[in-house]
A and B are shown apart, each in its own frame.
Chain A
Amino acid sequence: MELVEAIILSVLAASTPLLIAATGELVTERSGVLNLGVEGMMIMGAACGLGGTWLTGSIIVGALCGMIAGMLLSLIFATMTLGLAVNQVATGLALTIFGIGLSGLIGAGFVGERIATAPHLHLPSPTDVPFGGRILFGQDGFVYLSLALIVAVRWFLYRTRAGLVLRACGDNHVSAHALGYPVLRIRLLATMFGGACAGLAGAYLPLAYTPFFIPGMTAGRGWIALALVVFASWLPGRLVIGAYLFGAVSILQLHAQGAGIGIPSQFMSALPYLATVIVLVALSRARSGGSTTPASLGTVFVPDR
């Protein structure tokens, strides 16, 4: 049971950055914007998050630095795609290339520096309950935050007027515009929210997962977060299931490698990526056409005044 508990704990930790980044991207995509720069915003969040904590000693300052970094990058993206009506796919790729380069420059100052990671919750009696106690009451704050975030986003999208307007922009920007809603401004806010979430998800890696920064430490997590949004059919509830499933795949392959089964480690490491491909193909087939996809996703909108 000790081992099972340890595995569940590490699955939760591995899933959290995926969940946070995917939640932000879900809101962005629901407004009709496809920001492929998640990987770049995450790695910048990781570099700036570690920098913030290393300089001040505060995890919260680090997390904020990560969020601001992600948001600033998403502002570049918004300026290009919303302001100048540039192709969103190409701009997102540019954002990733730019973010990876810039994070290397910023992170160069902190490579090899270790920090104390975010403390885990400890409630004297509930946390010490054998198996289950640590899982429910012994996580770091980010884990609880990510779950609160997804509940809040779900409430916002389906229970508030603003959420309805945001979804309208994503499904038909011409109609939303005709009704008098400021489509570009709503998309700007949604894109910035996505950027902040990606930055926070990136900051999670050095602040709570591995206590240092290495260039390229996001290792494709931003892209997996993008795939998760598709996996979840743009529904917040399914995002949680998807994120934890993917976290489980990546942790279980690590344990399988550790257990020394006769499969080369590289094949096990490739599992999360292969799983993403297979899941994307299988799900797209099941949906046949993808009716839940925001209809205006990734299309340029130029208001005709």
Chain B
Amino acid sequence: MQLVLEKRAEQSTAAALVSPLVAIAATLATMSLLLALLGKNPAAALIVYFVDPLTDGYSLQEIAVKATPLVMIAVGLALCYLANAWNIGAEGQFLIGAVAGSWIAVKTQGTDAGHWVLPAMLASAAIAGALYALIPAIGKVRFGASEILTSLMLVYVAELFLDYLVRGPWRDPAGFNFPTTAEFDPVATVPVLVEGGRLHLGAILALLAVAAAAVLLGRTLKGFEIRVVGAAPRAARFAGFDPDRAILVTFAVSGALAGLAGIIEVAGPIGHLQPGISPGYGFTAIIVAFLGRLNPVGILIAGLFLALTFIGGEQAQIAMKIPLDVTKVFQGILLFYVLACDSLILYRFRFISKSPGVLRGTG
């Protein structure tokens, strides 16, 4: 007996919709096993993870706040991955965006600068993120350097640069030597949507990004170009689509979105620049992009789901002393299952006997 993969002639829509759900179910089963091994009651732990955060208004807001950067980054990454351009350095573009936006906030601190400050911060963050993402993209199209490795290396560089700024020139003199800038002025802060709440304007921007990407991919020639370049490079060349340009454009857009997410996180929920502003949003967003099957609307749902695991993970740590690393393991396993289930859409699995009879088959 031998397992054989056969390419499906056509892909069913139902399978495409069901496969992420199968992946989540398989992940939950594996997690139950892991939790049992850790000596925790799996049922109780899964309720703390996935049900409790949905039952009170504060947690629901927190989920939306956490989903905001994830969705924004993942929408950009999906464009890259559709064009077969592998940007895995969104974490670095996120940090550089946060730094570039904070620069304006820090320089205008204590002055009577008006309401232009926040828009300027958002714009400079997007531009900085895009430029930072263009480094690996240009390295790829001009010199053929692997964008996977260069974009990832730049994450470490961005982390160290941010660390230098908040420990050196931008450190709050009244901050008791903590590595952080002073709290941003009100004009340099992303406003909350409901007075006294946590949900902020960034959530609206994330929804806009989802809508814009959905229109781009579904309704414009540019979106078609991106998808053709990724799925059928030869066909793209015959159509006159330039794969290099697709790489540059998708990297720039995803860098801009990641940078925007960075400054929104800093000027929104956090309120100042400090090391550790991201619990790995740039990497988790990769999972979000694939769980959403590289579809903007799917990404919105996937982003909310992964935000739920962050919030649930924090609550499980407090309530049941379950280590935070369980959340990372969960996310890794989820990505495995999502990818494996994608394979089920593309291929049909068949067991065949290894007898010589196979040779007679026409295939």
Binding partners A and B: yes
**Residues of chain A having any CB pair with chain B under 8 Å:** 36, 76, 80, 83-87, 89-91, 93-95, 97-102, 104-105, 108, 215, 219-220, 223, 226-227, 230, 264, 266-267, 269-270, 273-274, 276-277, 280-285, 287-290, 302, 304-305
19 CB contacts below 8 A, A to B, read A83-B3, A90-B286, A91-B339, A94-B332, A95-B332, A97-B332, A98-B336, A108-B323, A219-B156, A220-B153, A220-B156, A227-B146, A264-B168, A266-B161, A273-B156, A277-B139, A281-B139, A281-B150, A284-B146
Q: How far is A89 from B325 in the complex, measured between Cα atoms in Å?
A: 23
Contact partner, B343, options A84, A99, A270, A283, Cβ 8 Å: A84
Asked whether, in the complex, the Cβ of B326 is within 8 Å of the Cβ of A105, the reply is: yes
Q: How far is A85 from B3 in the complex, measured between Cα atoms in Å?
A: 12
List the A residue with the shortest CB-CB distance to B165: A266
Q: Is B180 an interface residue (CB 8 A)?
A: no
Q: How far is the CB of A4 from chain B (nearest CB, A)?
A: 28
Known: A89-B86, A270-B161, A277-B135. A98 touches B339 (CB 8 A): no
Q: Is B281 an interface residue (CB 8 A)?
A: no
Contact partner, A223, options B143, B153, B325, B339, Cβ 8 Å: B153
Known: A270-B157, A270-B160, A276-B149. A97 touches B144 (CB 8 A): no
Contact partner, A85, options B136, B150, B331, B347, Cβ 8 Å: B347
Q: How far is A102 from B146 in the complex, measured between Cα atoms in Å?
A: 28
Q: How far is the CB of A69 from chain B (nearest CB, A)?
A: 14
Q: Is B22 an interface residue (CB 8 A)?
A: no
Known: A267-B164, A280-B146, A302-B347. A94 touches B336 (CB 8 A): yes
Q: How far is the CB of A251 from chain B (nearest CB, A)?
A: 17
Q: Which residues of A contact B347 (CB under 8 A)?
A: 84-85, 302
Asked whether, in the complex, the Cβ of B149 is within 8 Å of the Cβ of A280, the reply is: yes
Q: How far is the CB of B161 from chain A (nearest CB, A)?
A: 7
What string of 1s and 0s marks CB contacts (under 8 Å) between B313-344 and chain A? 00000000001111111111101100110110
Asked whether, in the complex, the Cβ of A102 is within 8 Å of the Cβ of B149, the reply is: no
Q: Report the 5 A-B pairs with minimum CB-CB distance, sorted nearest first.
A: A98-B332, A101-B328, A104-B325, A266-B164, A94-B335
Asked whether, in the complex, the Cβ of B339 is within 8 Å of the Cβ of A266, the reply is: no
Asked whether, in the complex, the Cβ of A93 is within 8 Å of the Cβ of B327, the reply is: no
Asked whether, in the complex, the Cβ of A270 is within 8 Å of the Cβ of B156, the reply is: yes
Q: How far is A215 from B325 in the complex, measured between Cα atoms in Å?
A: 10
Q: How far is A215 from B144 in the complex, measured between Cα atoms in Å?
A: 34
Q: How far is A273 from B88 in the complex, measured between Cα atoms in Å?
A: 15
Task: Count chain B CB atoms within 10 A of each CB in A83, A98, A269 and give the residue with the most.
Answer: A98
Asked whether, in the complex, the Cβ of A269 is within 8 Å of the Cβ of B160, the reply is: yes
Q: Which residues of B contact A87 (CB under 8 A)?
A: 339
Q: How far is the CB of A11 from chain B (nearest CB, A)?
A: 20
Q: How far is A67 from B5 in the complex, measured between Cα atoms in Å?
A: 31
Contact partner, A276, options B153, B323, B331, Cβ 8 Å: B153
What string of 1s and 0s marks CB contacts (under 8 Å) between B20-55 and chain A? 000000000000000000100000000000000000
336-363 of chain B: CB within 8 A of chain A: 336, 339-340, 342-343, 346-347, 352, 358, 361, 363
Q: Which residues of A contact B336 (CB under 8 A)?
A: 76, 80, 91, 94, 98
Asked whether, in the complex, the Cβ of A86 is within 8 Å of the Cβ of B164, the reply is: no
Asked whether, in the complex, the Cβ of B148 is within 8 Å of the Cβ of A89, the reply is: yes
Asked whether, in the complex, the Cβ of B144 is within 8 Å of the Cβ of A289, the reply is: yes
103-159 of chain B: CB within 8 A of chain A: 135-136, 139, 142-146, 148-150, 152-154, 156-157
Q: Is B96 an interface residue (CB 8 A)?
A: no
283-334 of chain B: CB within 8 A of chain A: 283, 286-287, 290, 323-333
Q: How far is the CB of B31 from chain A (nearest CB, A)?
A: 12
Asked whether, in the complex, the Cβ of B343 is within 8 Å of the Cβ of A98, the reply is: no
Q: Which residues of B contact A269 (CB under 8 A)?
A: 160
Q: How far is the CB of B187 from chain A (nearest CB, A)?
A: 30
Q: Which residues of B contact A100 (CB under 8 A)?
A: 328, 332
Asked whether, in the complex, the Cβ of A97 is within 8 Å of the Cβ of B164, the reply is: no
Besides A90-B290, A108-B325, A290-B144, 15 other A-B contacts (C-beta < 8 A) = A93-B283, A97-B286, A97-B332, A98-B333, A101-B325, A105-B325, A105-B329, A215-B325, A264-B168, A267-B164, A273-B153, A273-B156, A283-B145, A302-B347, A305-B352
Asked whether, in the complex, the Cβ of B156 is within 8 Å of the Cβ of A304, the reply is: no
Q: Which residues of B contact A230 (CB under 8 A)?
A: 146, 149
Q: Which residues of A contact B340 (CB under 8 A)?
A: 80, 84, 86
Asked whether, in the complex, the Cβ of B157 is within 8 Å of the Cβ of A274, the reply is: yes
Q: How far is A216 from B335 in the complex, measured between Cα atoms in Å?
A: 20
Q: How far is A290 from B143 in the complex, measured between Cα atoms in Å?
A: 10
Q: Which residues of A contact B168 (CB under 8 A)?
A: 264
Q: How far is A87 from B363 in the complex, measured between Cα atoms in Å?
A: 25
Q: How far is A289 from B342 in the complex, measured between Cα atoms in Å?
A: 31
Q: How far is A151 from B161 in the complex, measured between Cα atoms in Å?
A: 39
Q: Is B183 an interface residue (CB 8 A)?
A: no
Q: How far is the CB of A102 from chain B (nearest CB, A)?
A: 5
Q: How far is A221 from B43 in the complex, measured between Cα atoms in Å?
A: 38
Asked whether, in the complex, the Cβ of B153 is within 8 Å of the Cβ of A94, the reply is: no
Asked whether, in the complex, the Cβ of B144 is within 8 Å of the Cβ of A287, the reply is: yes
Asked whether, in the complex, the Cβ of B149 is within 8 Å of the Cβ of A266, the reply is: no
Q: Is B172 an interface residue (CB 8 A)?
A: no
List the B residue with the shortest CB-CB distance to A269: B160
Asked whether, in the complex, the Cβ of B325 is within 8 Å of the Cβ of A102, the reply is: yes
Q: How far is A287 from B361 in the complex, measured between Cα atoms in Å?
A: 45
